[in-house]
Structure 1
Amino acid sequence: MEQITLQNQYLKLSCINYGAIIKELIVKDKNENEVNVIIGFKKAEDYLNNPYYLGAAVGRFAGRIGNGGFTVEGNHYSIYNENGVHLHGGKNNFSHKYWKIEKVEKGENPYVTFSYLSEDMEEGYPGNLQAFVTYKLEKNKLTIRFEAVADCATIVNLTNHNYYNLNGGGSILQHELQLDADSFLETDEKQIATGKFLDVKGTPFDFISTRNVGDHSDFKGIDDCFVLNKKGHIATLHSKESGIEMKVSTNQPGVVIFTPDQLPEANYYNYYVDEYSSICFETQNFPDAPNKPHFPSAELKKGEKYINESEFEFSVR
């Protein structure tokens, strides 16, 4: 297991080649103190048992797929599932693989590029898929760029699974959130998308206007895909305690927001992991898109390039 550290004047990022995992992201708060704004383990070896996908690159398909599989170009493919649910690419998905370190660039805009070759029929997916992820620091901005190409038609939906806490620990219930999404996906009892779009108004998922994450009286946590109104800047998260603000931008049609009620006990880098310790912004296509013709297509044809690029810009106010 190899660790790469990137640093510029504003940010410091540490990642490992196992799962292409980001294990630390250091930002300075309003008092110039260094804060690790993601939940991560102190020891790199602890990521070998990482059921919550902390910091990981997730694929070949992020989110849930139902029906035991999907059809591409008239061919049906059965994929690994538990009780009819295929999650985050299967049992031995991308977050459990050692990625190759392709390039490390230091300097003013440092970056690292990892690659992973997912072979034909791995976890049931057709085609040899060559995937890349690049983590780049540009001033006060972290860019996460996924790319992929395949040698035959397949499906792909990659994302990063950082758990953010702008105080470096405690709870995110008092973090302010603004999210540019008027609707979210309805799910069934297995949390698989039904295909229906629900209005956020009057629900705990209404962040059109800025409010604290946990302010709604019916808040019981979030694990839902939001339908973004546009591409570009889609969300702003802010902590009054640290003063740190994070703006999220993406070229993807959706974002899965996840606020785990309780992470398992572990040797975390963060000073304290409370209930609702963090919030994920999994920028991606809609879950179960391969089985929902009216969702944005998740199909990647031979010769095409898949690109998922998201930016996380930090400041203090």
Structure 2
Amino acid sequence: METHSISNKYLKLTTIDYGATVHQLIFKDQNGNDINVVQSYKDLDSYIHNAPYLGASVGRYAGRLNPNGFSINGQHYALYTDNQAHLHGGREGFSFKTWKLEEITQGENPHITYSYFSEDMEEGYPGALEVFCTYTLKDNQLLISYTAKSDKDTVVNLTNHNYYNLNGNGSIMDHELRLHADRILEKSLTAVPSGSFKEVKQTHYDFRATTIIKKQLEIAGIDDTYVVNQNKPLAVLYAPKTGIQMKISSNQPAVVIYTPPTLDEQLLLNQPVSEYPAICFETQNFPDAPNHAQFPSALLKSGDLYSNESVFEFSIK
């Protein structure tokens, strides 16, 4: 397992080839102190098959798919399931593979590019798929890019699974969030989308106006797919304690927001850990889109290019 680091005058990024994972992302707070704004494991071995997918690149299909699998061109494909769902690409998804370092550059706009070759029928998915993940630092922005090509028609939904805390430790309950989304996906008891939508209005999912996260998480945590109605930015997160603000933009139709109630403090660099220690912004297509014609298509035709472009812009407010 190898780490790779790039930096500019605003940000420092360290990644791992295992899972094309973000290990640390450093930005200075309002007092000039270095803050690691993502949750990180102390020991690199803790990333191996870690249940929270901490910082990892997720695929071949991020989110949950129906346990019955999916069909393409009349051909049915069965998938590995656990707890009545296929999650984040299966038993051995892209998060748990060692990616190849393609390129690392330094300088004004440094970047790290990893690649992974997924064989035809790996985890039940058709098509030999070549995937690239590129992390770029451009001024005060972290750009995360995923591209993929397949030699057969297949389904693809890639994302990054960073756990953000703009305080660097403790809780995100004091953070303020604005989210440009009026609806979430309705889901079953096993968290697989039903195909219907729910309005966020007058629910604890409502962040259409800037809201202190504690107000909503005191009702319940969030692990839901928001339908994005504005892409630039789709969300703004702010931590008054450090003065750090993060704006999120993406070319994807949805963002999965996940607020874990806790994480294993003994394993983390970011100590102390308090209730609701992080928030995830998984920019992606809709989970289970292959099984719902009314959802944006997740079909990647043979020879076409899949692209997920997301930007995380940091500033002091």
Q: Note the 1:216-235 alignment, pairs <5 A.
A: 216=216, 219-235=219-235
Aligned equivalents of 2:49, 2:66: Cα separation in 1: 25
Identical counterparts, % of pairs = 52
Q: Which residue of 1 aligns with 2:142?
A: 142
Give the secondary-structure state (helix, strand or coil) at the position aligned to 1:216: helix
Aligned equivalents of 1:223, 1:313: Cα separation in 2: 23
Q: Which residue of 1 aligns with 2:166?
A: 166
Is the 8 Å Cα contact of residues 257 and 280 (structure 2) preserved in structure 1?
yes
Q: Which residue of 1 aligns with 2:36?
A: 36
Aligned equivalents of 1:269, 1:298: Cα separation in 2: 36
Give the secondary-structure state (helix, strand or coil) at the position aligned to 2:214: coil
Q: Which residue of 2 aligns with 1:98?
A: 98
Aligned equivalents of 2:65, 2:273: Cα separation in 1: 30
| Structure 2: unaligned runs, 5 residues or longer | none
Q: Which residue of 1 aligns with 2:184?
A: 184
Q: Which amino acid is the alignment partner of residue 259 of structure 1?
A: T
Deviation at 1:173, TM superposition (A): 1.0
Give the secondary-structure state (helix, strand or coil) at the position aligned to 2:38: coil
Deviation at 1:84, TM superposition (A): 2.5
Deviation at 1:67, TM superposition (A): 3.7
Is 2:273 the partner of 1:270? no
Q: Which residue of 1 aligns with 2:312?
A: 312
Moved over 2 A (4+): 216-219, 264-267
User: Structure 2-normalised TM-score?
Assistant: 0.98
Is the 8 Å Cα contact of residues 256 and 284 (structure 1) preserved in structure 2?
yes
Q: Which residue of 1 aligns with 2:195?
A: 195
Q: Which residue of 2 aligns with 1:244?
A: 244
Give the secondary-structure state (helix, strand or coil) at the position aligned to 2:290: helix
Q: Which residue of 1 aligns with 2:8?
A: 8
Aligned length: 317
Is the 8 Å Cα contact of residues 265 and 271 (structure 2) preserved in structure 1?
no
Q: Which residue of 1 aligns with 2:69?
A: 69
Q: Which amino acid is the alignment partner of residue 119 of structure 1?
A: E
Deviation at 1:220, TM superposition (A): 1.1
Give the secondary-structure state (helix, strand or coil) at the position aligned to 1:27: strand
For residues 1-45 of structure 1, the C-alpha deviation after alignment (integer angstroms, 9 at most, x for no partner) is 111001100000000100001010001000000000000112222
Aligned equivalents of 2:166, 2:140: Cα separation in 1: 14
Give the secondary-structure state (helix, strand or coil) at the position aligned to 2:31: coil
Let me know the Cα RMSD of the aligned residues. Answer: 1.0
Q: Which amino acid is the alignment partner of residue 250 of structure 2?
A: T
Is the 8 Å Cα contact of residues 173 and 217 (structure 2) preserved in structure 1?
no
Give the secondary-structure state (helix, strand or coil) at the position aligned to 1:255: strand
Is the 8 Å Cα contact of residues 68 and 84 (structure 1) preserved in structure 2?
no
Is the 8 Å Cα contact of residues 259 and 276 (structure 2) preserved in structure 1?
yes
| Structure 1: unaligned runs, 5 residues or longer | none
Is the 8 Å Cα contact of residues 230 and 253 (structure 1) preserved in structure 2?
no
Q: Which amino acid is the alignment partner of residue 256 of structure 1?
A: V
| Alignment CA distance shift 1:217-1:13 (3 Å) | closer
Aligned equivalents of 1:29, 1:69: Cα separation in 2: 46
Q: Which amino acid is the alignment partner of residue 190 of structure 1?
A: T
Give the secondary-structure state (helix, strand or coil) at the position aligned to 2:206: coil
Q: Which residue of 2 aligns with 1:131?
A: 131
Is the 8 Å Cα contact of residues 68 and 80 (structure 1) preserved in structure 2?
no
Q: Which amino acid is the alignment partner of residue 178 of structure 1?
A: R
Is the 8 Å Cα contact of residues 41 and 266 (structure 1) preserved in structure 2?
no
Q: Which amino acid is the alignment partner of residue 291 of structure 1?
A: N
Deviation at 1:50, TM superposition (A): 1.1
Aligned equivalents of 2:215, 2:33: Cα separation in 1: 28
Q: Note the 1:287-302 alignment, pairs <5 A.
A: 287-302=287-302
Aligned equivalents of 1:158, 1:217: Cα separation in 2: 27
For residues 33-63 of structure 1, the C-alpha deviation after alignment (integer angstroms, 9 at most, x for no partner) is 0000000112222211411000000000000
Aligned equivalents of 1:6, 1:266: Cα separation in 2: 27
